[in-house]
Amino acid sequence: SSEGNIIGVRSTNGAPFRLYTGVDAPRIVTECSKRPPPSLGCNSIVHGIQFDFDSAMIKPESSELLDTLFSNLKSATTSGITIIGHTSSEGSDKYNEQLSRRRAEAVVTALVTRGINTVRISALGRGEKEPIARNSTDAGRSLNRRVEIKCK
């Protein structure tokens, strides 16, 4: 504006838009949140466990993440842990369900090898049935390829 203010529309959540009239140099907040990041363990969604393409073979670079997951699950006071594998929609439903199950079983094996009692842990495969993002984009498919940790 002629007074030096910014005039436009803005939204805090994508809609509805509201008229905004403000100073040309608003205060920009750059401090990071003081809230600690969520820890890996019970009720986590884990995207960082990497597998070879079309395989249930866990890549070596996933070792540190599995170590952290083991540490947190070892100290959990739960009676049971279920590792649930998920895939994107590429491939057939039946194949994806089998692949997700094999990948969940591989994570179980990795955690048992580290010291989780086999009586406390099990594996499930959900395939592409429970997406958390659209499968129409690479980013969405990547988010859908995940492992969830559920505890009783």
Stated pTM of the model: 0.75
41: left (phi over 0), alpha (psi -120 to 50) or beta: left
Predicted local confidence at residue 75, as pLDDT: 85
- 38 prior amide bond cis, ω within 30: no
**Number of CB atoms found within 10 A of residue 29's CB:** 6
**Which ranges in the chain belong to alpha helices (H)?**
63-74, 93-114, 138-144
Give, as one character, the DSSP assignment of residue 39: P
CA distance linking residue 17 with residue 11, whole number of Å: 5
Query: Which secondary-structure segment (H or E) carries 29?
Result: none
At 37 the pLDDT is: 62
How do residues 39-74 score in pLDDT, each as one tens digit? 789 999 999 999 988 899 999 999 999 999 999 999
Those residues of the chain that have pLDDT short of 70 are: 1, 4, 9-18, 20, 22-38
